[in-house]
Amino acid sequence: MTLYDHPECPFGMKVRIVLAEKDWDYDLVTVDMAASQHRQPEFLKLNPFGQVPVLVDDDTVVYDSTVINEYLEDEYPEPSLRPEDSDLLARVRLLEDYADTSFTLPAMAVEREMSKGVLDRDEVLFGRAKGVLGKGLQMLDRQLVGKEFLAGELSLADIAFAPALMSLERIGVPVDASLGNVRGWISRLAGRPSIGALAKAS
């Protein structure tokens, strides 16, 4: 099994967390995005969209982090990161989609603007993205009432949020003290070896 990835890609981190939770050995190939390796013909044969991560498992090639993690659950189901209950499974999938499209992307936008000089920063985009993250954290706090994880047990939903959550302090989006459920959740996630390394790196 080979994973083509970039160290700072939060979507690649999702896959690496799942592989670590399953204690599965794999070869990691770092794709140099700055050198446009993801646009080279060799890579485009694996993923015509030119994006990481890409998983190659024997003759099977899978891209898109959510699809990769579903594939890993299908092929290597132990330990399971998907609930068996159909209602809970739908909840996990909805929350994972929200994490990808409405939480991770704004976190990436904040980080991108933070890396610019003050004069070059798009303050409107910066403020809007931070506001989206703030509202997302409030929603998650409500989702976590009475739960240790979003679906009760650790699932693909929690893992989808983990990369962005571990970066919040670094990108200047601290979790308000009033959001006790989220703060406890982040602490539990960071305590897992599969995710703790991300927290230390952030």
152-172: burial string, b at 16+ Cβ within 10 Å, e else: eebbbbbbbbbbbbbbbeebe
Kindly report the CATH number assigned to the domain that includes residue 185: 1.20.1050.10
| Same-domain pairing of 100 and 126 | yes
Same domain, 70 and 92: no
pLDDT at 167: 94
pLDDT tens column, 60-113: 999 999 999 999 999 999 999 999 999 999 999 999 999 999 999 999 999 988
Partners of 57 in the beta sheet?
60
Of residues 197 and 127, more confidence is placed in: 127
**Confidence check: pLDDT of 201 > 60:** no
Q: Looking at the domain assignment, is residue 6 inside a domain?
A: yes
If pLDDT is split at 50, 70 and 90, which confidence band does 120 have? confident
Residue 28 within a domain: yes
- Are 61 and 95 in the same domain? no
- Whether 81 is covered by a domain: the verdict is no
Compute the distance between CA of residue 158 and CA of residue 135 in angstroms, rounded to an integer.
17
Average pLDDT score over residue span 25-39: 93
Q: Could you give the number of structural domains in the chain?
A: 2
149: phi > 0 → left, psi -120 to 50 → alpha, else beta; which? Answer: beta
- Strand, helix or coil for residue 174: coil
144 and 52 assigned to the same domain? no
Q: Are residues 54 and 93 in the same domain?
A: no
Q: Are residues 42 and 94 in the same domain?
A: no
pLDDT value at 192 more than 80: yes
pLDDT at residue number 180: 97
What distances in angstroms separate CA 83 from CA 34, 88, 105, 125, 156, one per listed residue? 38, 6, 26, 37, 9
Domain ranges, residue 52: 2-75
* 100 shares its domain with 19: no
pLDDT in tens, 142-190: 999 999 999 999 999 999 999 999 999 999 999 999 999 999 999 999 9
- What pLDDT score does 181 carry? 98
Looking at residue 41, which CATH number applies to its domain?
A: 3.40.30.10
Query: Residue 199 has what pLDDT?
Result: 59
Q: Which two tokens stand for residue 66?
A: 């959510």
Q: For residue 170, what are its two tokens?
A: 């670094």
Reply yes or no on whether the pLDDT at 200 is more than 70: no
Q: Is the backbone peptide bond immediately before 79 cis, with ω within 30 degrees of 0? A: yes
* Statement to judge: residues 71 and 154 lie in one domain: no
